[in-house]
Amino acid sequence: MTQQLLDRPVLFLFRWALSVEYFIRCCRSQQQKLQEWAKEISDALYINEEEVVHRDILLEGFSDIQIKTRNGTAIAEQAAKALEELLDRRGKAAEAIMRKAEQLATDRSDPPNDYYYDNSVDINVLKKVQKPENEWELVLNCSSLNKVEVYNSAHFDAQVSLEHTSVHVAVEVFECDPRVLPDIYWSEGLFEAFRENYAQDATLDMQYMCSAKGFLRHYPAALWDSMYKLKIEDGEALYDCRLRPWYVSASGAPRDILILLDSSGSMSNSSNLLIAEQLTLALLSALTDDDQVNVLRFNEIVESPIPCFNGKLVPANHVNSAAMMDALQYQNTSCETWMDHVLVYSVNLLKERKKATDRPPSCQQAIVLITDSLYENYTDLMNVLDPDGSIRVFVLWLHDPNGVRDSTHFYGESVSCSRDGFFAELITHADVTERVMNILRVLERPLVSQRKQRLRVYSDVYANVEDPRRGEYYWQQKENTEQMYRYTQLRRNKDKFLNSDRLYSDYLHMHKLEKFGQYYEGQDINYRLQVTVSVPVFDSTTSEIGAGGSLFLIDHRGNIVLHENAKPVFDGDILKPGYRTVDLLDVEQPAVEHWPRHYPQEWLEFRNTLVVEQPSGTKTMYAKSIFDEGMRAFLEMKEYHWKRVKNYYTIVVTLTKYNNKHAVPEAKFTQALANAAMNALHGTDFSVHPDWLYCQHVDPHFDTREAEVLHFLRRRRDEPNFSMRKINHVFSPIKPTLLEKTYQCNEELMARFSREAIATNSWTKIAESTEHACTTCRLGSTTAFFASESGLTRWQQYHATSPHAEPPSGGEWPRGPGETWYRRASATPDLIVHAPVPPIRLLRNSFIEPPELGERYKWLTAARMIAHANKGTIGVAGYHFHRQHLKDVLKSITDFPCDEEEECEPRCDGEEWSCVLVDEGGWIVSDTEEEDEEQAKEPVTQHLANVYPTAMSALLNASIFKLHWIHDYQAVCFPSTKEIIRPKHKKVKSSAPNLPSLIRSLWTSLSEILLISQEMFTFLTLLTTIPDGVNADTEAEKEKRRKKIRRDFEREKYERLFDPRVLVNRTHFAACDRSRALYVLQRNQRAMEALRRKPHLCKWPLVGTEVPKTNLLLLAIYKGCPFTGKPLNDPFINELVSLADDEEGRSMAARLACWRTRVPLPARAPSTQCFPHHYGDEEGYRQCGPWLPDPPKKSADVKHVTLLINLPVILMLLA
C-alpha cells in the first residue's frame, strides 16, 4: 500500500511528460494542418451555398433594378411630416369633443329621478334590482341594470360595443352622489361627438373624457376588466383618471413641489404617520415627469430620506418617487419641531431651484406641509421670506377629530390661504385622494382664470389603465403561488424536498434572478403601450432604413417613446418600474468603454444638441448597436438624423455606413403589377414582416399577415379604382362584409413587395425538377432562403438522408431585415455563419417553464448579402442547416480515424485536443465534443470564455479579443422585503417628551401590575379552598384529557410537516442597472498575426486561424492546461452594477435614484404654454378653495364651465 502511494507522483509525472511530448510533437505541423482544415470547412459551406441558394439567378432577376443612396434626413422629415399630420387630425377630433362638452355643460339639465347610466364594470351582465331597506335611505347603485352586448375587438384590445358609451367611476367617488350624477347625465350627449369622430377615422382607439368629479366617460363602451392586462383576483380598484399623468399635465406643468413631512416625536406610534405616507404616495403618483419634487422630513433638522437628494429637487418620475417612498418607511420620529427653520430652508431651496439652468423653468412653486400641529402663525414669516408671494403653501393637518384641539386650524388656514394655497384636515386614509385633488385644483387656477386658451397636451408613453401598484400586488401573488407549491411538495415527500441538492437548486434559482439577472424579459401579453401617436405612421419609413438602421421617437425630456431596444416587461407580464423613464443614452450607447452612467462628454454634448438646442440636424457618432436581445452588439460609426415635431416629440433616424446604398424597384402599385405578383406568389412559400404595414384591416380579419396581403393583391387586381385607404366607418345594424371593412395600405411598400415577388419568381422554380432533393449536400437537409428589404422572405426546402432533422419552414424567420443574420450579413461581403444565442430565461415561479424557444433556435444560418454591381444592397440569401450537420463535418475533417498501432497525425480527438469554430463574438458555433442528452434536446450556444477559459484568457492577453460591456439601464432587481437599511448617521435621541410613548409605557406598567395582582389573588384563593382529600377523575374529565391528547397529537403531526426551509424568501422588484460582458474579435493585421503564433505549453495552449471568407475562427485547443487565473466574465450573466461606497446601506431603489441623478441630463421645456402663479392676480379672491373669479350670481354656472375647461380630452392611439 505504501509503495503504491509512493508510485502515484511518479505515475503523474510520467503522464505529464507524455502529454508535453505529445503537445510538442503535434504543434510542429499543427498550424499548417489547421489552415488546411479551415479551407476545407470554408469550401463545404460555400459548396452547399452554391448547390441550394443559386445567387446568380437571384441577381439576374434584379438586373434592371435602380440603386439609390439612403438619405437619413429625408427619411426623418418624411416620418415627422406623417406624425405631425396625425397629431393634427387627433387634435381636431379632441377639440370637437371639447366644443360639444362645453355646449352640453351650458345647456345642462337635472337628471330624472329614475336615471341610470351604463357602468363599465359588469356592463355585460344583467343586474338585479337592489332596493334600499327603507324609504329614507338613498339608492346605493345608479348603474343601469341592462346588459350591453359586447364583442372582442382586436383593434380596441377589449370587449367593446360601438353602439354605447360607458362610464368608469373612481372607487373614492359615490356613483349616486348628487354632485356627480348630473355631470354623468349631461356627458351622455358626447356620444354623438364620439361616433362622428369614429365615423371619420376608424383608426381611433379609445376616446376619453375625464371629469374633475372623478368619473371617466369613454367610447366605445367596454367591459372594464377586459382592458386590464394583469388578471388579478380580488384586486383593489386603483384607477382614477384624475391622477393619471396625462390628466395632470393638462393643468399646466412643470411645477416645483416641496413636500414637508413631520418627523417629530409626536408622530411616533401614530396612525398619522401612515396617513401622511399615503398622501405623499398619492401626490407623487399624480405629478408628471416634468415636475420637480422632493420629500423632506423635518424636526430639529430638515433632510431628505435619501441623502443624495438633500439640497435639490429631482424629476417626479417613477424611479425617484419609488425611491423616496421606499426610504420613508425607515424614517425615525424624534425631537421637537423648529418650524421657522423648516420654512426658511424650504423657501431658500425653491429660490435656488428657480435660478438653476439644468432644467426648464417652473411655472409654479408650492410647499405642501403635512404636520400634526402648528404652534405659531407663520404668515408674517412667509411674507418676509417670499415677499412677492410666488410660492404657494398647502397645510394638511393630521389629527384625531375627537382628540385635543389646539390652534393648528387657525394658524394653518391663515398661512395657507394668505399664500394662495389650501388648508384641510387629514383624518383618515379615505380623505387622501380628495386632498390631492384639492391641491391640484388650486394649482390649476392660473390656467382656468385666463379662459381663452385650451392646452393641447401630448402624452408620454403609458400602459393605458394599468397602475404600477397592480404589478407589485401581482408579484406578491406570484410569490404566494410559489409558497403554495413548496408546501405541496413538502407534504408529498418531505425527505426529497429537504434534500440538500433540492434546497441548493431552490437557492440557485433566486440567486440567478437577483445576482445574474437571468430573468425572463419576453412579453407574453401585449400591453400596447400608448401615446398620442400611432405606430403605422412609421411603417412607410422603417422599410427604408435597411439592416442596421433604426427609427425611434423621444420626447422633450430625452426619454424614449418608441425604440426597438425598449424592454418594458419582465417575468412575461409585469411592467418594469422604470419603463417610462428610459433615456436616449440608455439605449443608444457609446462604443467607447465607460463606467455605467458615466457618459462620455462627447455623447452628453450630442444629447444636449439633439434634445435641447437644435430642432433638426445630423451627427455621426461611434456607437454600440445592440441587438439579439442584448446578447450581441456592433461597434460602428452611425449617422443620427433628427427632426422635431410639435416641439414635443423628436423623430430620430440612424443609418450605418456599410449599408448606405440599396435597391429601389421603380414601380407603382397598379392592377398589372398586382396580377403579376399574385401569379408569382401562387402556390409558393413566403412570409412578410409581421410588424410592418402593407395593407391591413383596422380590425384584423385574417389569421396570418400573408393571407391578408394576398387578399389585398387580389383586390387591387380586380378593382380598377381601388383606394389605398378606407378609414370611414359606416354605422349599420348589418355586420359589414369583408369588402366593406375599413383598412389602410402603404402603396410604396406594396409596390416594392410586388416587384420583388416577381423578380424572385424564377428562383422559386429551380428545385421543381429535382423535387427538392439534396442527396449530395454535405450539410444535410437545409432550407434555402432569400430575404429582401421590403420584408419579403421566400424559401425552398432541400431534403437529405439525415438522422438529425427535417428542414424547417422559412416562416420561422419572418422578419427579414429585422433578423440577426440579416443584419450581420449586411455588414460584410463574406459568408456569415450565425448561431442563435438566446439569453437564459427564468421565471419567478420555479415550477413554471418559460415559453419554448422554438425551431428557429435549433438551426444555424449561413447567409451572404446579395448586392448589385453598383454595390447596392438587394437582400440577403443563404440557408438554414442543423447544428449537428456542421459538427459532423467538423469531426470528419479534424478527427479522422487512426490505428492505435501507427503514429497518428495531429487530430482533435477530444482527449488531448479539441477543435472549435467560434464567431466574431466568441460564441461557439460548433466543436468536436460530444453532447449530452439535455444539450441535444434543447441546444444552447456556449461561449468560449465559459467552456475554454484558458484559451479565451490567452486570446484576451494577446488582444485578439477585447472585452467590452453592454449596460442594461432597464434592468430589474429583486431585493428582499426584509432588506436591511443601515443608516449612515446614528439616531439622535429626542430631548422633547414623546407623549404617545410615555402614555403607552405607563399603560403597559399598570397592566402588568394588575395582571400580577390577579394571579396572586387566584393563587391565595386556591390555597385556602383545597380540600384535604383528592377524589378520582370522573369519566367526563378522562374523556376531556383524551381529547386534549388527541389534539396535541394532531398538532404535533401537522408541525412535523412544517420546516422553516419551506418558506419563500419574500422579495419585491425595483429598477437597477446591470452590465453584460461583450467579447469582440479584433479583425486587424496585428491580431491575426498574433493568432497564428507558435503554441507554447499553457501560455499559448492553442493553434488558431481564420476560416477563409467567413466570420469564423478555427481553434485547436490543448485541454491539458487547467485554468488558474481570475474567472472570466460570463456573457450569459447580466451582472448587477456595484455602486459607490457612499451609496451602500441604502435600499436598492434609493441607490439607483442617486446614481441616475448624479449628473442631471438636460431637458427641453414642454410645448404647452406656461401659466405662472401671480400673487397680485388672485388678490380679492384669496381663499381656500377652487378658483371663482366671476360675480357671485353666476358662480354656479361659471364653476361648471371652469371644471369643464380643465377636463383633458385624450384620444389614445396604439404605440
pLDDT digits (tens, 9 = 90+) for 851-861: 988 889 999 99
pLDDT digits (tens, 9 = 90+) for 688-705: 999 899 999 999 889 999
pLDDT digits (tens, 9 = 90+) for 1040-1055: 888 888 887 777 666 6
Nearest to 329 by CA among 274, 270, 259, 269: 274
- Answer yes or no: is pLDDT of 334 > 50: yes
- Answer yes or no: is pLDDT of 1215 > 60: no
**Which of these three, 707, 730, 761, is where a domain ends?**
761
Which is it for strands 1102-1106 and 743-745: parallel, antiparallel or unpaired? unpaired
pLDDT for 1169:
79
- Answer yes or no: is pLDDT of 303 > 70: yes
Q: Which residues pair with 215 in a beta bridge?
A: 169
Q: Which residues pair with 913 in a beta bridge?
A: 1118
pLDDT for 919:
96
1196 versus 329: the higher-pLDDT residue is 329
Q: Is residue 647 part of a domain?
A: yes
Contact predicate 339/296, CB 8 Å: no
Contact predicate 141/244, CB 8 Å: no
pLDDT for 1001:
58
- Answer yes or no: is pLDDT of 294 > 50: yes
- Answer yes or no: is pLDDT of 1202 > 70: no
Q: Is residue 913 part of a domain?
A: no
DSSP 405-458: --SHHHHHHHHHHHTT-EEEEE-SGGGHHHHHHHHHHHHTHHHHHH-S------
Is residue 524 located within the same domain as residue 580? yes
Is residue 84 located within the same domain as residue 221? yes
CB atoms near residue 146 (< 10 Å): 12
The whole-angstrom separation of Cα 843 and Cα 907 is 43
Nearest to 1115 by CA among 1128, 1130, 1104: 1104
Is residue 262 located within the same domain as residue 236? no
Q: Is residue 778 part of a domain?
A: no
Domains in the chain, number:
4
- At 917, give phi and psi (nearest 5°): -105, 120
In this predicted structure, which of 661-670, 719-728, 883-892, 1027-1036 has the lowest mean pLDDT? 1027-1036
**Which of these three, 761, 781, 804, is where a domain ends?**
761
Residue 534's CATH number: 3.30.450
pLDDT digits (tens, 9 = 90+) for 166-197: 999 998 888 888 889 999 999 999 999 999 99
Give me 166's grid cell: 360607458
The CA dihedral of 1178, 1182, 1187, 1191, to the nearest 10 degrees, is -90
Give the range of the structural domain holding residue 680, as residue numbers without chain letter. 663-761
Grade residue 538 by pLDDT with cuts at 50, 70 and 90.
very low
The CA dihedral of 974, 976, 982, 984, to the nearest 10 degrees, is 20
Q: Is residue 859 part of a domain?
A: no
Q: Is residue 21 part of a domain?
A: no
Give me 3's grid cell: 509503495
580 versus 527: the higher-pLDDT residue is 580
**Which of these three, 660, 691, 706, is where a domain ends?**
660
Residue 309's CATH number: 3.40.50.410
Which residues have C-beta within 8 Å of that of residue 908, sequence separation ≥ 6? 891, 894, 895, 914, 915, 928, 1116
pLDDT for 785:
96
Grade residue 907 by pLDDT with cuts at 50, 70 and 90.
confident
Grade residue 16 by pLDDT with cuts at 50, 70 and 90.
very low
Nearest to 1145 by CA among 1001, 956, 975: 975
The whole-angstrom separation of Cα 512 and Cα 973 is 11
pLDDT digits (tens, 9 = 90+) for 634-690: 999 999 999 999 888 999 999 998 888 888 877 789 999 999 999 999 989 999 999
Is residue 566 located within the same domain as residue 682? no
pLDDT for 393:
94
Is residue 586 located within the same domain as residue 627? yes
- Answer yes or no: is pLDDT of 408 > 50: yes
- Answer yes or no: is pLDDT of 948 > 90: yes
pLDDT for 547:
87
In this predicted structure, which of 48-57, 461-470, 553-562, 779-788 has the lowest mean pLDDT? 461-470
Which is it for strands 255-262 and 292-298: parallel, antiparallel or unpaired? parallel
pTM of the model: 0.88
Give me 44's grid cell: 463545404
Q: What is the CA radius of gyration of the chain?
A: 36
In this predicted structure, which of 577-581, 815-819, 949-953, 1196-1200 has the lowest mean pLDDT? 1196-1200
The whole-angstrom separation of Cα 826 and Cα 658 is 8
CB atoms near residue 29 (< 10 Å): 11
Tell me what the mean pLDDT of segment 336-350 comes to: 89
919 versus 778: the higher-pLDDT residue is 919
Tell me what the mean pLDDT of segment 1002-1024 comes to: 73
Contact predicate 1140/1129, CB 8 Å: no
Is residue 401 located within the same domain as residue 281? yes
Is residue 701 located within the same domain as residue 654? no
In this predicted structure, which of 444-448, 637-641, 785-789 has the lowest mean pLDDT? 444-448
Is residue 547 located within the same domain as residue 672? no
Q: Is residue 1003 part of a domain?
A: no
Is residue 427 located within the same domain as residue 518? no
The CA dihedral of 1169, 1175, 1181, 1183, to the nearest 10 degrees, is 100
- pLDDT above 70 as % of the chain: 85
Which helix or strand (DSSP H or E) is residue 272 part of? Answer: helix 271-286
Which residues have C-beta within 8 Å of that of residue 1043, sequence separation ≥ 6? none
Helix (H, G, I), strand (E, B) or coil at 675: helix
Give me 466's grid cell: 394599468
Q: What is the DSSP letter of 609?
A: I
- Answer yes or no: is pLDDT of 1157 > 80: yes
In this predicted structure, which of 518-532, 780-794, 1090-1104 has the lowest mean pLDDT? 518-532
Tell me what the mean pLDDT of segment 386-400 comes to: 89
pLDDT for 958:
94
pLDDT digits (tens, 9 = 90+) for 1165-1185: 887 778 888 877 776 555 555
Is residue 260 located within the same domain as residue 209? no
Q: Is residue 538 part of a domain?
A: yes
Contact predicate 287/316, CB 8 Å: yes
The whole-angstrom separation of Cα 688 and Cα 707 is 10
Tell me what the mean pLDDT of segment 603-630 comes to: 95
Is residue 630 located within the same domain as residue 693? no
Q: Is residue 717 part of a domain?
A: yes
pLDDT digits (tens, 9 = 90+) for 793-807: 999 999 887 777 889
- Answer yes or no: is pLDDT of 901 > 60: no
486 versus 901: the higher-pLDDT residue is 486
Which helix or strand (DSSP H or E) is residue 395 part of? Answer: strand 391-398
Tell me what the mean pLDDT of segment 927-937 comes to: 70
Is residue 292 located within the same domain as residue 166? no
pLDDT for 655:
94
